[in-house]
Amino acid sequence: MALPRRSFLRGAGVGISLPFLDAMIPSTIRRANGSDPQPAPPCRMLAIQTNMGILSQHFFPTSSGPEFELTPYLELLKEHKGKMTVFSGISHPDVDGAHEAEKSFLSAAPHPGGAGFRNSISLDQLASEQLGPVTRFPSFVVDVNAESTQGMSISRSGVKVPSEKSPARLYANMFLQGKPSEMEARIADLQRGRSSLDFVSEDAKRLSRSVSAADRSRLEQYYSAVRDFERNLQLGQEWERKPKPITSTPAPIDITDNKKLIDKIRLMLQIARLAFESDSTRVVSLFINTFSVVADLPGVKDETHSITHHGGRKEALDQLFIIESAQFQVLAELLKELELAHEGGESLLDRTMVLYGAPMGNAASHDNKNLPMVLLGGGFTHKGHIAFDTKKNYPLPNLYLSMLHRMGITIEQFASSTGTMQGLDFAP
């Protein structure tokens, strides 16, 4: 088990934080070699949410186990059937609120539609936090067509992590090296930012002595957000002078037309692949918003949200099938690219967990149960279709706990998990 990075030395009422130690690096990303640890091929995570649901009749198999039949959507992923686990009968306990559930997709925070809702740290952000500064970027939080209030990546302080919409900007951050003068100016900016934060933090602490308990709680959330920001500033300084990786892939051109839904998803997934291949980050989350989009696809003429309330109309169902099939097709393209790339004698797909799903099991009725979820790659011993009770659902956070363990983060619980995912094991 890796030593948590937030460990302290405690005694006589004094707490001293520890520096980053080799013991804090998860076991799956290090390999002992005497006194000189050598990194083993790391495990990575890509979590994708498509927020308008997935037609269950085209997704869920009717049989379970490794020999499950391929449904129309899963047929598009057939080349990777041996590295695929489909789940049915799973959901987040106490996560309701119809569309509001999208914000709890990776956190499992209960009752997201409630007036007093406060979110909790998401799967991706916990993973990046626990991995420590092993890559230039702790995580990539990206989106396609999301509004400013939408997202599923949540910091430890319960605040939504801002997402990046520009593949071109992500590419530049990964591969384009600035001039020495620009790097030094950036480091100076980081240093000024840290000293400013120190001043604001002390000022806020003085304020907390004279406010109510409710305000002190809000200030504590603020302190946590400041600490997260300080950590990122510190890591930024450490990486600023290190040379960036080189890629032969040309820089992408951003797509601004929201109707080009599938092209935008494809481009963002290509950026995720480049990030993994270059080891720029090991954690990527992609939020796909199709709410008010009329996808530029043959046969589609209506915006997605309206046709999810199809009432059984064939015309609406046919359009949804076109849109959702196209999304599974670009997912298949990514999986093929990950399979062809190799690292440490394994395919990049074997080192990358790809999670794809939706926050609603039935978008037409706004049902947040029986969520369509599929996990691919990542070095698991995949069991095909793992079917649970569709009425009394199995906790989805158990899958998230298994994913964290796969990355070497051996915590005992994530959110409302009751253990690791039943029937899902690591490959030997």
Statement: residue 7 has pLDDT above 50: yes
Statement: residue 102 has pLDDT above 70: yes
Lowest mean pLDDT among 28-32, 71-75, 216-220: 28-32
Percent of the chain with pLDDT over 90: 71
Long-range contacts of 168-172 (CB under 8 A, 24+ apart): 168/251, 168/252, 168/253, 168/254, 170/140, 170/142, 170/271, 170/275, 171/251, 171/252, 171/271, 171/274, 172/251
In a domain, 208, yes or no: yes
pLDDT bracket for residue 31 (50, 70, 90): very low
pLDDT at 242: 78
Distance of alpha carbon 387 from alpha carbon 61, whole angstroms: 9
pLDDT bracket for residue 14 (50, 70, 90): very low
Burial class (CB in 10 A: 0-12, 13-18, 19+), 72: middle
Domain endpoint, select from 192, 208, 242: 242
Question: 69 and 63 in contact (C-beta within 8 Å)?
Answer: yes
Two structure tokens written together for 172 = 């530049």
Statement: residue 277 has pLDDT above 80: yes
Distance of alpha carbon 166 from alpha carbon 262, whole angstroms: 15
pLDDT at 426: 81
pLDDT at 235: 64
In a domain, 353, yes or no: yes
Specify whether 207 is located in the same domain as 145.
Answer: no
pLDDT bracket for residue 47 (50, 70, 90): very high
Domain endpoint, select from 203, 226, 242: 242
pLDDT at 255: 97
Specify whether 44 is located in the same domain as 189.
Answer: no
Specify whether 168 is located in the same domain as 187.
Answer: no
Q: Comparing 224 with 331, which gets the higher pLDDT?
A: 331
Statement: residue 223 has pLDDT above 80: no
**Buried b / exposed e across 387-415, counting CB within 10 Å, b at 16+?**
bbebeebbbbbbbbbbbbbbbbbeeeebb
Question: 420 and 398 in contact (C-beta within 8 Å)?
Answer: yes
Specify whether 188 is located in the same domain as 265.
Answer: no
Specify whether 99 is located in the same domain as 40.
Answer: yes
Question: 305 and 291 in contact (C-beta within 8 Å)?
Answer: yes
Question: 243 and 177 in contact (C-beta within 8 Å)?
Answer: yes
pTM > 0.85: no
pLDDT at 215: 75
Two structure tokens written together for 310 = 């199809």
In a domain, 115, yes or no: yes
pLDDT at 230: 62
Specify whether 170 is located in the same domain as 184.
Answer: no
CATH of the domain at 280: 3.40.720.10
- What is the arithmetic mean of pLDDT over 345-373? 97
Specify whether 127 is located in the same domain as 202.
Answer: no
- What is the arithmetic mean of pLDDT over 119-142? 94
How many residues in the chain?
428
Averaging pLDDT over each range in 22-26, 79-83, 212-216, which range is the top one?
Answer: 79-83
pLDDT at 225: 64
pLDDT at 216: 74
What are the pLDDT digits (tens) for 371-415? 999 999 999 999 899 999 999 999 999 999 999 999 999 999 999
Q: Domain range spanning residue 221?
A: 178-242
Closest C-alpha to 129, from 224, 61, 10, 258: 224
Specify whether 221 is located in the same domain as 281.
Answer: no
Statement: residue 124 has pLDDT above 90: yes
What are the pLDDT digits (tens) for 232-276? 666 666 676 678 898 999 999 999 999 999 999 999 999 999 999
What are the pLDDT digits (tens) for 333-343? 999 999 999 98
Q: Comparing 27 with 90, which gets the higher pLDDT?
A: 90
Specify whether 154 is located in the same domain as 77.
Answer: yes
Specify whether 221 is located in the same domain as 346.
Answer: no
Specify whether 161 is located in the same domain as 193.
Answer: no
Q: Comparing 10 with 69, which gets the higher pLDDT?
A: 69
pLDDT bracket for residue 177 (50, 70, 90): confident
In a domain, 8, yes or no: no
pLDDT at 92: 98
Distance of alpha carbon 251 from alpha carbon 304, whole angstroms: 31
Domain endpoint, select from 217, 242, 267: 242
* Total domains, the chain: 2
What are the pLDDT digits (tens) for 134-143? 999 999 999 9
Specify whether 273 is located in the same domain as 285.
Answer: yes
pLDDT at 132: 85
